[in-house]
Structure 1
């Protein structure tokens, strides 16, 4: 029955998949500060049935990000698990890199459009891949069985210094818009050099110098 329902239109929004999801995850523990043992089932029982729905979650970094004069960013080319909290951040950074490259694009020819899309993909792929891997690791905290228990134990008792190292791997990717005034980089984590920002910053500062001399 569920298989037939999944093959129909809008199957992820139906009552049957939602109920199946609740049944399969009822025993998942909910860690709270008061120390009492609670489960997701208790949360489901207190939630009106009409407010419970299920959607399909895809996690993937796609190979193709652009074609001719079309380019993708955010979830359209890299879908990250929400557990990492990086989805919106990576999308915003994609937009920044694209804006920087479009700003300093020498012409509107197909060759130049393809070239900046290649530069965009080359710059953003390492950061997106890092966020993707981190999100998948954090998502394992909610897994059933021994793997989930181990991950919950490690994340609960992980030393602060180790957390900082893990966070620094993703926080180092933070490009800025190059055609406005730069913001001073603060904090102990030094940002990775953004090629698109450097490129647009050089053009922007050159234009400012020229305008000042006129």
Structure 2
């Protein structure tokens, strides 16, 4: 199934009045027993019972959640390290071989770096990462926002859909009594179920990448 067809299928089951476009979350004002308060890109502020960030590897919800947690606890400040820097990637991958054609002809990543003007080389942060913290209070994360897979294993979309199913089931169980403790418990149940599987898939995709790179 193509992605457009999948999107159309999913959208067909959501009432149109529940879909709000051009409302990217810019910041989370607070998340506590009274609800989640967020400010969106159109300048409006919203109160939600829960907030789930499914907004990709550069998740604004994750950044807002972590910023809020850092303010609440000094212990959190060093618990989620940043992605691996470009410099360390260069050292790790210098000897990696890229085949050029028939036979044993190849070029290494180091060769490419050495033959390229420094002004034309840009260091970027790795997208691929498994975050330890997926939820706090009434806010949770799903998909690439909390576990960005390498593409070679084809597990990114599958894991995102599994996240959605498990979290939906966990929240359904507490829907009749959506108290603050129950919502937190639902997020924890979701995390406990999904984290080990996401970790295993990320490690698997890393091994595949290592094998393919020689």
Alignment TM-score, normalising by the size of structure 2: 0.44
Which structure's residues are more often strand, by fraction? 2
Bigger Cα Rg:
1
TM-score, normalized by length of structure 1?
Answer: 0.44
